[in-house]
Amino acid sequence: MSYRQKVFLKQFNKDEFANFRTSYESINPDRPIETAHVKYEDTDPRFRKFIEGIDDSKRSFVDEILPHLGLFLHGPFPLPGKRVTTSAWDCRGKLGAYKATGVIPKLAESRVLDIGCNAGYDTFLMSALGAIEAVGLEPHGFYHQACFLNAVYDVPGVSFMNLGWEDLDPRYFEGFDFVNCQGLIYHVKEPMLLIEKLASIMRPGATLLMETHVLAEASTQSQFIEGAFWGDETYWWVFGAECLMGMLRSAGFKDVRMPLKADCDSRNPLNPRMTVEGHPAGARAWFVATKS
Ligand SMILES: C[S@@+](CC[C@H](N)C(=O)[O-])C[C@H]1O[C@@H](n2cnc3c(N)ncnc32)[C@H](O)[C@@H]1O
């Protein structure tokens, strides 16, 4: 048994994980599984490469653990035996965003930190795109899904920590060349603090890639969400894009830009523009910035 398998088994508690699953499986339980029809051959070939020539000990590890990991959010991840994780989100479009934002050359030979990495789709992808070290930070139970995949893929340089952005401290995390922070800042009540923490662990000249929910129209203002958005009660902010860019500049980032923006679906069958809670559906946007 490999070192990563042993560490996984030491940390993973089946009952605790079963309990954790209910916390996210209960948000929008009727939402379709986006990867339901994805076959092994349709998964990212970079990830399939991780399991080429895999040994039997890994197959039995997957057989034993996979049934306990339930629904993944990230995916689809290929697994030995031509299996694919059951994943609520189809993350295969992420590569297109890395290309469209122009950051791929920045990943070569870099040390990257992926904040709020979930099961590690971006972490593994950034490693496959050239990062020499890719560290994923995930404070919730998704950390175990990421560690499971890491024990199966065994990619040199990839690691995960069961920590949140609040734990970023330049005494222990420093000099990262690239920070990825997608799908997190609108879940954070103190968004400026998060941005300052990110800046504190990046070397001068390092690149930040941040993705978040934004207002569809150009605005220097942001909306605080009281209640829920798309049924999710941890959605606190919908940022005006210009407001967020100002926040990044105020924390010491330069060359702040928004190379990509895509309108969102309201997920409300009765109104394509407003969510069921009555918020404008907004858009998702990707921001790139350089640490001064
Ligand atoms: C919407 S998901 C985005 C996942 C991934 N970054 C992506 O873009 O696909 C938000 C992630 O942030 C994680 N998260 C929640 N609180 C966090 C915190 N305090 N620090 C870091 N991550 C956090 C959640 O567990 C979840 O995995």
Q: In ligand 1, which atom is closest to the CA atom of 117?
A: 6
pLDDT above 80 for 29: no
Question: Which CATH homologous superfamily contains domain 92-291?
Answer: Vaccinia Virus protein VP39 (3.40.50.150)
Q: In ligand 1, which atom is closest to the CA atom of 181?
A: 6
Share of the chain above pLDDT 70, in %: 100
In angstroms, rounded to a whole number, what is the distance separating the alpha carbons of residues 35 and 23? 21
pLDDT computed for residue 7 by the predictor:
97
pLDDT computed for residue 118 by the predictor:
98
- Distance of CA 115 from the midpoint of ligand 1 (Å): 7
Confidence of residue 181 (pLDDT cuts 50, 70, 90): very high
Residue that the structure tokens 């934004």 belong to: 214
Output the pTM of the full model.
Answer: 0.97
Residue that the structure tokens 């997190």 belong to: 184
Confidence of residue 57 (pLDDT cuts 50, 70, 90): confident
* Residue 248 CB-half CA count within 13 A: 28
Q: Give 75-91 pLDDT, tens digit per residue.
A: 999 999 999 999 999 99
Q: Where in the chain is the domain with CATH 3.40.50.150?
A: 92-291
Q: Give 236-285 pLDDT, tens digit per residue.
A: 999 999 999 999 999 999 999 999 999 999 999 999 999 999 999 999 99
Ligand 1, pocket residues at CB < 6 Å: 115-118, 137-140, 142, 164-166, 182-184, 187
- Distance of CA 200 from the midpoint of ligand 1 (Å): 19
In angstroms, rounded to a whole number, what is the distance separating the alpha carbons of residues 180 and 110? 12
Share of the chain above pLDDT 90, in %: 94
